Each structure stands twice: as structure tokens, then as C-alpha cells.
Amino acid sequence: MARKSLLKPTTLATILLIIISFYAFFNTFLSPFINSDNTITPSNFPFFESSLLSTPIISESSNSHKVRIFLYDLPRKFTYGVIESYLIRSSSSSSSSSIDDKLKYPGNQHSAEWYLFSDLVNGKNLGEIIRVLDPEEADLFYVPFFSSLSLVVNPIRPNVGGGNSGGVVYSDEEMQEGLIEWLEEQVYWKRNNGWDHVFICQDPNALYKVVDRVKNGILLVSDFGRLRGDQASLIKDVILPYSHRINPFNGDVGVDGRKSLLFFMGNRYRKQGGKIRDLLFQVLKDQEDVIIKHGAQSRESRRMATQGMHSSKFCLHPAGDTPSACRLFDAIVSLCIPVIVSDSIELPFEDAIDYNKIAIFVDSDTAIKPGYLVEMLRKISTKRILEYQKELKEVKHYFEYEDPNGTVKEIWRQVSLKLPHVRLMVNREKRLVRRELIEPDCSCLCSNKTGTT
Amino acid sequence: MARKSLLKPTTLATILLIIISFYAFFNTFLSPFINSDNTITPSNFPFFESSLLSTPIISESSNSHKVRIFLYDLPRKFTYGVIESYLIRSSSSSSSSSIDDKLKYPGNQHSAEWYLFSDLVNGKNLGEIIRVLDPEEADLFYVPFFSSLSLVVNPIRPNVGGGNSGGVVYSDEEMQEGLIEWLEEQVYWKRNNGWDHVFICQDPNALYKVVDRVKNGILLVSDFGRLRGDQASLIKDVILPYSHRINPFNGDVGVDGRKSLLFFMGNRYRKQGGKIRDLLFQVLKDQEDVIIKHGAQSRESRRMATQGMHSSKFCLHPAGDTPSACRLFDAIVSLCIPVIVSDSIELPFEDAIDYNKIAIFVDSDTAIKPGYLVEMLRKISTKRILEYQKELKEVKHYFEYEDPNGTVKEIWRQVSLKLPHVRLMVNREKRLVRRELIEPDCSCLCSNKTGTT
């Protein structure tokens, strides 16, 4: 009897091995599944609270390092309501589209605001972050106002014939003010002076009226063309790529299908830094292997641009009204090597991407010297072109908003990198004492180079 | 025959389960062992290169996120040689110590340079970093020159009676110049303009002669008292705690053994911001429950300071010649609540530590109002004092250089947080074009608060 009730040492060892293996199996294979569904946090999944061994499962899991984001449940008018207003405006001027229950964000270069919002709602492409439903648990707070679309509905300078027709009055400025009013009622907004809040304002003019009131936050922007150094910086904020507007080139690297040397299609006349465009037109328009065309936004233009970018070796990227433009990202997904003539451009994800490997930078003064650009580009060997194309292919996914390993995931990684500074500023401001300063209290990272050629 | 050569489905399933469990077992239990020995990198441990399943072992392991540091094998004169010179100098003036093979770094408040170096050599307390032996694999390069001890051997202003006696000529300035000469021969120093190099200069005057030539690097400093905004900042650099010089208080929280209200012992007369000290002596010296004493560095002073800090509720921390001083860290490990009167102080690890929970900040103008400090402190309830003490106990490990979960590990975590900026600056500088700028090309993080009381 006694012998029967005891297990043999080998059986005991087997059971122990099975238990250990089972634990290891769970730890290795099942926790990633749970991690990938970012709506389940360790604390509300009971199995992971109790540990079979003393090894801490939770702190070892990949979620423990993730930055916790709270998505504000903004009043509908700041999200879907903006789409509705856009559709009302479009339908009253063109009568072609109708509003139904399935609101579709219009295709435009500022659709990051849509992807970030809808992917957060659906728990998709979160990468280094995890969405938490309890604001008490949050490291950062995302404010999903569609600020760029709001500006499209009611631009600062309305288009002739456009504007708020059909009797519907929509005011982007009122929306901006309304957002601040709503925020000022939120306890978490006031708690840390906004340092831990994330705003998207991808159009350089988005949120222009209230930017001074949200400037402590992490701003997701296209460039700093409309922002002062005390409002935005590479340290505090994240540079986003525009959504590309033409279809990606899905073929392989090569020059056989790329007969033209350099391609550009876009508005010839822009303000400020964009004045370079007309000068570039003048020096490039008579070169035989260069295609340079004036064109405005339209479906037909996009078709022609796709054709042009897919069949050219290099694609010109001059500054627009501000240093950035969506054309750069069209060129990248077309494997058309960007030739960037925009002296003050800032580029997305530059800690991860060495743009020197995928693009050619030319300062404005040099670029407009007659003959310079084409002669320089013609000298670049096919071997070197293929190297650029291979690198473009490597980094292309960073500019695909719908790629699971693409833009949205990378934006959240960039946001998560800001957290140490956010915490530093929050803690530091709490204990700063009154002091007499001659200069503003800033911590900076400065480039020593004023430029290279 | 045929039947024998085939395995039963259940046996197959068992084998498969064993393989999977074995893989999981390895992944769960063995890889942490390998990780903890940071000298073995995944690439030279062949088992981990081949994966039994398609799940990537390497990228999932904790090492894959670690920042790879290369420790420069500096000429001996920059490390052990400095200790030798120190011992020669000490022995020639005191004749009490002798130089033997086991060189011991002298106990001083700047011993971070010793701990970082020796722990890297021994693969200890690395936390978020991993040491790599091949510079090609490195993200960052550590330059372990004992710059603070070098300044002690040959201070800018030699002590009366000290200096380079005994016929031995040691020049800290020549050491600094020598370091730069050596660096300029290194391919990795030139490759990225020094952005990816880490220097320790904990004494505010360490490296003073060459700081402009190493300023691109990550500087490990005590404060910014001797550095300009374009040389060092909270963004680029890391604030280190001084090594505490008195014994930690190992008792529990409580006020029973802490009869005095406020304690200070140190040099009454200092330069610059330290002039506040004499003013504080004047307003505090006649308060009955306050112990405020003039004292210089000595073993006896340390004994008295230990006694004083272990038996006082609050410890005064006025600015020294620069805003920081080791007394703050003596107070923290003594569980004596620091009362900080140093308007421009920057604090170590402030993203991780909320100093408002462990210390009291008083601006200088207010602190020297007669009666203010003692009245304010006397009003703080025992309950509140215990809360402060509990928080002090929580964060104390950050200030223990020898704690495996202590200062060294946290310094490397702070350094690892700089890597995205390093990469950004390296990539960005490569592609910057010539441009005319009115202001320096800086990205900043600015506090909006000029101060609170």
C-alpha cells in the first residue's frame, strides 16, 4: 500500500520536468499572443498574476517595458464629427457623395491622424506601446482630434467657390478653442501641465490658434515650418511622414524600366522656401532626360505622377511652402531616389533611417546653378543607383501606414522614446524654485555643423 | 518492418512536444543566464544563431534591446596610471601609503569613474547595456579616463604644501591634451564626430581644458556649474550622484532617534552660489534644535557628520561652488530629509525619481529670511516626516554605487536612453546642407516655469 502511494523518483523527476516545461511553454509561446492583443493587460489576466516559480513572469514579459497610452474618449465632434462635416461640405459643393453610417476618412496626405486613432481603437500596430483603459495607469495621453482634416473643412484661406457652403457653418478655429475648453476640464491635463499629452497636427497649420497652449505636449508634426523653437523641436516632438498619394512600385530594383533621369510634377509656384521651385523649373525644363511638369492635385495628376516616378531614376523634392512635402514619400515608395532641395527639412524617424543612404541632398544655391543637377546625377553609376534602390526597399515599410511593421508602429516607438523627457520635465517642474534667469530655462542638443555641401 | 519504421502518431506528438518544450526550456531558463554574463554576445554563441522554430530567439531575448558599449583600452596612464600618480603624490607628502600591485582607487566623492570602469571590466551591473569586444558592433564608446582623480593629483589651484612634490611632475592639463591626441588617432572617434562617445568628468572642473573638443559626446557630470549650454545639457548628458562619504543609516524610519531638527556640517565659506552658506549660518546658528557647524574634509569630520545626519530629521543642502554637492547624497542614505537651497541644482535620474517626494526645496531669497526655515520645518508633522523617510528608503539604492540594483546600473540606463538622439544627430549631420542660419541649429526642451515657491 505504502509503496503504491509513493511515486518513483524517476516519475517525480518526469512530473517536475513536465511542470517546468509547461511553465516555459506558456512563458515562451502564450505570453506573446497575449502581448500582441494589447487590450489585455497583465493585471486583468489572472493566470499571469500567479507564478508557478519564483521567476517574475510579468516583469520579464515584453509588456512590462511598454509605454502605456490612454486614448481620450473625445466628444464625437472632434473625430467622426470632422469627417461628417467634411462630407457635408463635399456633398454640398459636388453633390456626388452621400453620408452614411460607415464614415470613411477621406484619402489625403494627412491621414496619420486617422490611422493612429483607428489602430488604437482596434489595438493594432501598437509596437512599443500598450493601450490602457484606466487613465490612472497611463504614462501618456493621446488626444485624437482630427486637426488636419478640420483645417481642410475650414481652411484659413478658403478656396474660391469652396468654403462653408450649404448653410453649414463649420469653424476650425472654434473647434480648436473647443478642444482646449474640453481639455481644461480634464484632471489629467492639468496634473502635469500637459507634458504627458500627445497631439497630432500634421498639416503645418493645424492647431495654429492654440499651439501655444498645447506646446508642452508631444506634437506629431510634418515639419517645424510654422512652429517656433519654443513650441516644437526634434527633442520634444515627432516628425511624421505624409501618407504617400501614389501607388508603391512593387517591382524589383533596376534601371531598365527607368528611362528618365529626373522627374518632378507639382505646383511650380509656392511661397517662402517654395520659391526655389520656379528657379528649378527654369534650369531643368530644357534638359532632354528630365521630366518637370506643373501639376495640381487631381486623380489624373496622381496617375501621371505614378507613371513618372515609377519610370525615373531620380525624383526631385523641392521645398513647398514649408520644408516638407508628401512627394518625398511618393518617391521613396516608388524606389525613385529622392533629390532633396530643401535646406531646412527635418525627416521622419531619422534615428532609425540614414537618409544619406536613400537620398541625395543638394543645397538650394548649388541646385539652381545651370547644369549642375543633371551633370551630377548623370555621373552616378548604375551600381550606385542600385545601391540606393536596395536601401529604399529596406526602409520603404516605414512609410506604409497600413503595414503592420510600418509607420503607425514606428510613430508609437518614437513617441515612447519621449517618455523619459516627459517624466524628467514633470518631476523637475514640480521642484523648481523661483530664480532669476537671464535666458530661458532650456536644455538643448545643437548641431555643430552649420552645413556641408 | 514497415510498421516498425513508422512512429505512432501519439509518439510523434510526444516527440514534437518534447522538442517544443526543450526549446521553450532553453529560451526561458538558459538565455537569462547567458544574458547575465554580458560578455557572451548572441553572435558568438552558436546555439542561438540557429532557431529550432521560426520564432526569432535573438530578437526576443532581452539582450536584443540592449545598448552595446565598447570600452576603450586606453593607455594605462589614463586609468591605473592616474591612481599610481595619486599614490606617489600622497606617499611623498605623507609617507604613509605604499604602491603595490593591487592599485586601490582612493575613496572620494568622484569615484563613479572607478565603479563604471571596473564594473565594465568585470561585466557587473550593466543593466540596459551590454559590453561588446568588437568596436564594429558598438553603439557607444566609453572613454574611461579618470579625469576627476587626475584633477586631484594636479589641481588647477594646488593646495599650499601639496602640489607636485617629490620631484614627480604630473600635469592634468597634459593628460587631457594627451587623451585628445590619442582619441584623434582612433577611427571610431572621427567616424561620427564623437557623438557616440561617453566621457566621465564628474568633478565640475574635470576635462576643463578640452571640454570643447569632447562636447559632442555624452558627458557624465555632477552639474552644469562650469559648463555652457552649448557644451552640456540635460538632453545630451547624464547627471551623476556623488559617492556618499558617510555610512548609510540602516535603521528603520522614525523620529525617536532624531532629536535635532536640522543638521549641517561643511565649509561655511564658498565662492559664487556657495556664498549662500555664510548667510544661512547667520540665520541658523542660534536656533536651539539646529546643528550647524563649520567643518573641513577629514575622517573625524565624517564621523561627526554621520552621527549628525543619523540623528536629525532634516539635513541642509546649500549650494557649493557649483550647485551640486555630495552632502545631498549623504543625507539621502542617512534618511535625513534634504532641505535643498541651491536654485540651479540639477538632480540625478530625475525621470525616475520625483525629488519632491524626498526633499524640500527652498529658494535662496526665502531661505535666508530670519526664522523662515526653522518655522517651516517645525510645522511639518511626524506623519509627513515618516512619508518622506519611506520614500527616501525606496530610492536609496539609486545612490549606492556598490548595490547591484544601484547607481552604476542606473547610470548605464540613463546613457542608453541617449542612443536615439546620438543616432539622430549622427544621421542628420551627414545629410545637412550648407545653409544660412541666424541662430545656432539647436533642438531644445524648455521649462515654462521660471519658478515656483
ipTM: 0.83
pLDDT at position B411: 98
Contacts of B354 in chain A (CB under 8 A): 427, 430
pLDDT at position A166: 45
User: How confident is the model over B326-345, as pLDDT tens digits?
Assistant: 899 999 999 999 999 999 99
H-state helical runs in A192-326: 211-214, 276-284, 299-310
Q: What is the DSSP letter of A312?
A: E
Domain boundaries, chain A: 6-65, 68-239, 260-399
Q: Do A431 and B352 touch (CB under 8 A)?
A: no
Contacts of A420 in chain B (CB under 8 A): 351, 417
Closest-CA distance of chain B to residue A275, Å = 16
Partner residues linked to A316 by β-bridges: A339
Backbone angles phi and psi of A451, in degrees to 5: 150, 155
User: How confident is the model over A76-100, as pLDDT tens digits?
Assistant: 999 999 999 999 988 765 544 444 5
User: How confident is the model over A217-270, as pLDDT tens digits?
Assistant: 999 999 998 999 889 999 999 999 999 989 999 999 999 999 999 999 998 888
Arithmetic mean of pLDDT, A122-150: 97
> B270, B320 in Cβ contact below 8 A?
yes
> A440, B434 in Cβ contact below 8 A?
no
Using CA atoms, how far apart are residues B206 and A446, in angstroms rounded to an integer?
Answer: 22
Nearest one of A94, A105, A215, A103 to A162, comparing CA atoms: A94
pLDDT at position A45: 29
Closest-CA distance of chain A to residue B430, Å = 7
User: How confident is the model over A264-281, as pLDDT tens digits?
Assistant: 999 888 877 778 899 999
pLDDT(B60) > 70? no
Contacts of B22 in chain A (CB under 8 A): 21
pLDDT(A351) > 70? yes
Q: Do B435 and A451 touch (CB under 8 A)?
A: yes
Residue pairs between chains A and B whose CB atoms are closer than 8 Å: 212
Nearest to B445 among A32, A363, A443 (CB): A443
pLDDT category, A366, cuts 50, 70, 90?
very high
> A225, A322 in Cβ contact below 8 A?
yes
pLDDT(A124) > 50? yes
Average pLDDT, chain A: 84
Contacts of B352 in chain A (CB under 8 A): 423
In this complex, is the C-beta atom of A216 within 8 Å of any C-beta atom belonging to chain B?
Answer: yes
3-class DSSP assignment, residue B181: helix
pLDDT(B2) > 90? no
Give the whole-number percent of chain A exceeding pLDDT 70. 80
Q: Which of B445, B450, B453 to mutate to test the interface with A (most CBs of A within 10 A)?
A: B445
Q: Which of A56-65, A396-405, B242-251, B442-451 has the lowest mean pLDDT?
A: A56-65
H-state helical runs in B154-298: 172-183, 187-191, 211-214, 276-284
pLDDT at position A12: 52
Average pLDDT, chain B: 84
Q: Which of A443, A448, A449, A450 to mutate to test the interface with B (most CBs of B within 10 A)?
A: A443
In this complex, is the C-beta atom of A453 within 8 Å of any C-beta atom belonging to chain B?
Answer: yes
Chain B stretch 13-32, residues whose beta carbon is closer than 8 A to a beta carbon of chain A:
20-25, 27-29
pLDDT(B12) > 70? no
Q: Do B21 and A25 touch (CB under 8 A)?
A: yes
Chain A stretch 218-277, residues whose beta carbon is closer than 8 A to a beta carbon of chain B:
229-230, 233-236
Contacts of B444 in chain A (CB under 8 A): 229-230, 233, 235, 442-445
pLDDT(A188) > 50? yes
pLDDT at position A203: 94
pLDDT at position A369: 96
Nearest to B420 among A417, A431, A452 (CB): A417
Q: Which of A431, A435, A438 to mutate to test the interface with B (most CBs of B within 10 A)?
A: A431
Cα Rg, chain A, nearest whole Å? 26
Q: What is the DSSP letter of A141?
A: E
Q: Do B449 and A440 touch (CB under 8 A)?
A: no
Pairing of strands A67-71, A140-143: parallel
In this complex, is the C-beta atom of B435 within 8 Å of any C-beta atom belonging to chain A?
Answer: yes
Arithmetic mean of pLDDT, B186-210: 97
- Between the CA of residue A387 and those of A252, A259, A308, A333, what are the distances in Å? 12, 18, 21, 15
HSE (side-chain half, CA atoms, 13 Å) at A3: 0
- Between A274 and B208, the more confident residue is B208
Contacts of B428 in chain A (CB under 8 A): 347, 350, 447
Chain A residue at shortest CA distance from B354: A427
In this complex, is the C-beta atom of A128 within 8 Å of any C-beta atom belonging to chain B?
Answer: no
Chain A stretch 314-353, residues whose beta carbon is closer than 8 A to a beta carbon of chain B:
343-344, 347, 350-353
- Between the CA of residue B71 and those of A112, A163, B68, B75, B118, what are the distances in Å? 42, 63, 10, 12, 11
Give the whole-number percent of chain B exceeding pLDDT 90. 67
CATH code of domain A260-399: 3.40.50.2000
pLDDT(A129) > 60? yes
- Between B441 and B54, the more confident residue is B441
pLDDT at position A208: 96
Nearest to B444 among A353, A419, A442 (CB): A442
Chain A stretch 62-121, residues whose beta carbon is closer than 8 A to a beta carbon of chain B:
62, 65
In this complex, is the C-beta atom of A427 within 8 Å of any C-beta atom belonging to chain B?
Answer: yes
Contacts of B128 in chain A (CB under 8 A): none
Backbone angles phi and psi of B377, in degrees to 5: -70, -35
In this complex, is the C-beta atom of B33 within 8 Å of any C-beta atom belonging to chain A?
Answer: no
User: How confident is the model over B130-184, as pLDDT tens digits?
Assistant: 999 999 999 999 999 999 999 999 987 665 444 444 445 899 999 999 999 999 9
Arithmetic mean of pLDDT, A184-207: 97
- Between B91 and A45, the more confident residue is B91
Instruction: Measure the CA angle with vertex B146, ends B145 and B150; round to 5°.
Output: 120
Q: Which of B192, B438, B447, B453 to mutate to test the interface with A (most CBs of A within 10 A)?
A: B447
pLDDT(B38) > 50? no
Arithmetic mean of pLDDT, A61-89: 91
pLDDT at position B325: 79
pLDDT at position B389: 98
Q: Do B450 and A443 touch (CB under 8 A)?
A: no
Contacts of B367 in chain A (CB under 8 A): none
CA B340 to chain centre: 20
In this complex, is the C-beta atom of B169 within 8 Å of any C-beta atom belonging to chain A?
Answer: no
What cell was used for A105? 476618412
Please name the residues in contact with A241: beta carbons below 8 A apart, sequence gap of 6 or more: A112, A328, A329, A348, A349, A398, A399, A407
Nearest to A351 among B20, B427, B435 (CB): B427
Nearest one of A253, A280, A254, A287 to A265, comparing CA atoms: A280
Neighbours of B57 (CB within 10 A): 20
